[in-house]
Amino acid sequence: MNSTEIKQLEDTYVANTYGRYDVAIACGSGCRARDSEGREYIDFTSGVGVNSLGYCEPGWVAAVQAQAAAVQHVSNLFYSEPCARAAEKLIKLTGMKNVFFSNSGAEANEGAIKAARKYSFLKYGQTENAQGEDAPNRYRIVTLAGSFHGRTMATITATGQDSFHKYFTPFLQGFDYAETNNIASLRETVTDETCAIMVEFVQGEGGVNELDTAFVREIAQVCQERDILLIADEVQTGIGRTGKFMSYEHFGVHPDIVTCAKALGGGLPIGAVIFGEKTDGALGPGDHGSTYGGGPVVSAGADYVLGKFLERDGAFLREIAETGTYFREQILGIPGVQGVTGLGLMIGVDVGDKDVKAITKTCAANGLLILTAKTRIRLLPPLIIGKEDIDAGIAILAEAIATV
């Protein structure tokens, strides 16, 4: 099918819930995507941070193909090697205890919310309320203004943006929002009923805003003082994106639960809820589950991606950090760029009051794919990107910024 036919078909038959780019991607290799007409696009998006090793990395393709041909699905009632291997690597890389595999980031956050509430229920119990019903003593979860945690009912409630809190009432009970990077607001929002604080250390959808180190330290301090669980939503920031395996490592804190997804499968839908010392065993048989979670094919993809971080003595992470530094220098050299935010290869670009949607459109027309987040340009290039692709993409970006 040609691109026009694909677009017409999708627009007719797929529900209209996405503001789509005027591009239909047919195939790709490395950091370059192609449409049906053979037009090439340099990709600074990786999907949205998903294709961590770029398009169709040969080793990853081979691992996924071999697994699809060996056994495509095993119910979680049975054991299976790819799941076991991926879990072992994730634990080696994080130093945590064990992992529950989900199918997406929102599902991973759902699992984290359930685990935090169960932990607190077991530890702090329940009390009969005025209506004569048993109510848990600690169940509230504090999140931050500007955060994004997913699209399910619990995770849109957790998301600290008013624009998500309409149409779908009633939302879940038990979420409170503190102002980002405001210690006084954090201290005010946490109460004796708080069981967890859930944060993105670099807010992605919210505009590529990294948290202040002092604020993160304060969160960790409050959590420690009051036995509150720290949940790190590493769905976008995790798996090497920021130049560390998980972004919390930049801040010297140790979350009790870590969620990840996007980059984990290298393009396949897999998420993870990773449990630390405190939350190890909080969820038991029957408490949580998933038909597909941690299935063999997606786990084989994740196992391959995770292997990249363990081989060559961890060189991959150092390379990502170096590439991030180079990338940022090039961005700052573009006339019209006022600043750069984020960490590693999670890059926010400030272009003042220039129209980022118009810049995105111009870039796509000229062969470069970029993302936006609020008023910023957001770049999430494949973690394997090299200088040649960066330079070529930057030239297109610079021209778009100059002309818009």
Ligand X SMILES: *Cc1c(COP(=O)(O)O)cnc(C)c1O
To ligand X, the closest distance from the beta carbon of 262 in angstroms equals 6
Q: Which of 235, 260, 283, 373 binds ligand X (CB under 6 A)?
A: 235
**Is 149 a binder of ligand X (CB under 6 A)?**
yes
Q: How far is C-alpha 134 from the chain's CA centre? A: 36
**Is 261 a binder of ligand X (CB under 6 A)?**
yes
**Is 105 a binder of ligand X (CB under 6 A)?**
yes
Beta strand pairing status for 40-43 and 368-369? parallel
Cα–Cα distance for residue pair 264/92, rounded to 1 Å: 15
Tokens found for residue 17: 């819930």
Instruction: Quickly tell me which residue has 């076991």 as its tokens.
Output: 84
Q: Taking the chain, what is the end-to-end CA distance rounded to the nearest angstrom?
A: 32
**Is 393 a binder of ligand X (CB under 6 A)?**
no
Beta strand pairing status for 271-275 and 368-369? unpaired
Task: Pick the stretch among 123-131, 165-173, 228-236, 317-325 that binds ligand X (CB under 6 A).
Answer: 228-236
Q: Which of 31, 86, 99, 106 binds ligand X (CB under 6 A)?
A: 106
**Is 67 a binder of ligand X (CB under 6 A)?**
no
Task: Kindly state the greatest CA–CA separation across the chain.
Answer: 68
Instruction: Quickly tell me which residue has 């987040």 as its tokens.
Output: 373
The answer to whether the beta carbons of residues 368 and 44 sit under 8 Å apart is yes
Nearer to ligand X, 150 or 348 (CB): 150
**Is 376 a binder of ligand X (CB under 6 A)?**
no
**Is 343 a binder of ligand X (CB under 6 A)?**
no
Task: Pick the stretch among 19-27, 64-72, 123-131, 231-239 that binds ligand X (CB under 6 A).
Answer: 231-239
**Is 210 a binder of ligand X (CB under 6 A)?**
no
Show the site string, 107-136: x = touches ligand X by CB under 6 A, - = not.
--x---------------------------
Cα–Cα distance for residue pair 42/367, rounded to 1 Å: 6
Task: Pick the stretch among 24-32, 189-197, 232-240, 315-323 that binds ligand X (CB under 6 A).
Answer: 232-240
Nearer to ligand X, 200 or 218 (CB): 200
Task: Pick the stretch among 24-32, 54-62, 105-113, 239-247 that binds ligand X (CB under 6 A).
Answer: 105-113
Residue 97's contacts (CB-CB under 8 Å, 6 or more residues apart) are 91, 275, 276, 277, 279, 280
State which amino acid sits at residue 47: G
What count of other Cβ atoms lies within 10 Å of the Cβ of residue 79?
A: 8
Tokens found for residue 385: 């990107």
To ligand X, the closest distance from the beta carbon of 250 in angstroms equals 16
Q: Which of 104, 120, 189, 194 binds ligand X (CB under 6 A)?
A: 104
Size of the site for ligand X (CB under 6 A): 15
Nearer to ligand X, 235 or 385 (CB): 235
**Is 257 a binder of ligand X (CB under 6 A)?**
no
The answer to whether the beta carbons of residues 380 and 241 sit under 8 Å apart is yes
**Is 202 a binder of ligand X (CB under 6 A)?**
no
Cα–Cα distance for residue pair 201/223, rounded to 1 Å: 15
Nearer to ligand X, 111 or 324 (CB): 111
Q: Which of 44, 60, 101, 148 binds ligand X (CB under 6 A)?
A: 148
Nearer to ligand X, 30 or 382 (CB): 382
Cα–Cα distance for residue pair 231/327, rounded to 1 Å: 30
Stated length of the chain? 404
**Is 201 a binder of ligand X (CB under 6 A)?**
no
Nearer to ligand X, 261 or 334 (CB): 261
Cα–Cα distance for residue pair 49/252, rounded to 1 Å: 24
**Is 233 a binder of ligand X (CB under 6 A)?**
yes
DSSP per-residue letters across 25-61: --EEEBTEEE-TT--EEEESSHHHHT-TT-BT-HHHH
Cα–Cα distance for residue pair 387/325, rounded to 1 Å: 11
**Is 45 a binder of ligand X (CB under 6 A)?**
no
Task: Pick the stretch among 199-207, 210-218, 330-338, 355-363 that binds ligand X (CB under 6 A).
Answer: 199-207
**Is 150 a binder of ligand X (CB under 6 A)?**
yes
Residues that bind ligand X (CB under 6 A): 104-106, 109, 148-150, 200, 204-205, 233, 235-236, 261-262
